[in-house]
Amino acid sequence: MVTQLRSFIENNPRIETIGLYLPLLQEPNLLKLLTQLSAKNWVLPRVGNPALGELKTTLFFHQAPSPVVSLIQSNDNTQLNFAPSGLVQNQWGLWEPPATWQAVSAIDLLIMPALAMDVQGVRLGYGGGYYDRWLASSVSVNTQTIGVCWEACKVEKLPKAALDIPLHGICTEASLLFVD
């Protein structure tokens, strides 16, 4: 997946600011992209914090300083983990940038995780709707979107709710496919 996305980004010079998720559970880990394409502007998502007067249903993106993570290879070379540098844990224990990092609204490419995707670009996430709400906002009008999931999780058709926004591309370990 990293190789396919890196090639796509390198062949599209207009892509300067890239949103990337911090992986959890069994989500594909793409953090190598941060070091392989370090000249790009990387932004990371943060969920709104009511203690800061923000809606907890809102997704914000913040400029990632370099380096934001140290990559750690497992002993058996099968798992790439990360050690956060400057990141904080949110109310669910997930790593994210602090609200004090520079906020960014214009993103050229947003790479987001999916539990499953269909060939029309419909993404199944964890059900919070954070990415869909951000995509429905006016700031995302010029943002190209790619969902990432395992090939076994790519299906012909998923149910599409009214608020679901199809993505432009699907990346699996087998291919990078763009939707018409």
What's the pLDDT tens digit per position in 150-162? 999 999 999 998 8
Pairwise CA distance, residues 33 & 2, whole Å: 6
Give the whole-angstrom CA distance, residue 113 versus residue 140. Answer: 17
Strands 109-113 and 17-20 turn out to be parallel
> Residues 79-123: pLDDT tens digits?
545 555 778 888 778 888 889 999 998 999 999 999 999 999 999
Q: How many other CB atoms are found less than 10 A from the CB of residue 11?
A: 8
Considering the chain, what percentage of its residues have pLDDT values greater than 90?
50
pLDDT higher than threshold 60 for residue 166: yes
Average pLDDT of 51-68? 79
Reported pTM:
0.88
| pLDDT value at residue 148 | 97
Residue 141 is part of a domain; what is its CATH number?
Answer: 3.40.50.10420
Q: Give CA–CA dist 168/180, Å, rounded.
A: 8
The answer to whether 52 and 99 have CB atoms below 8 angstroms apart is yes
| Mean pLDDT to the nearest integer, 57-83 | 65
Predicted confidence at residue 85, as pLDDT, reads: 73
Total number of domains in the chain: 1
Residue pointed to by tokens 């939707």: 179
CB atoms within 10 A of CB 61: 24
| CB 48, CB 54: distance < 8 Å | yes
Could you tell me the residue range of the domain that residue 157 belongs to?
2-178
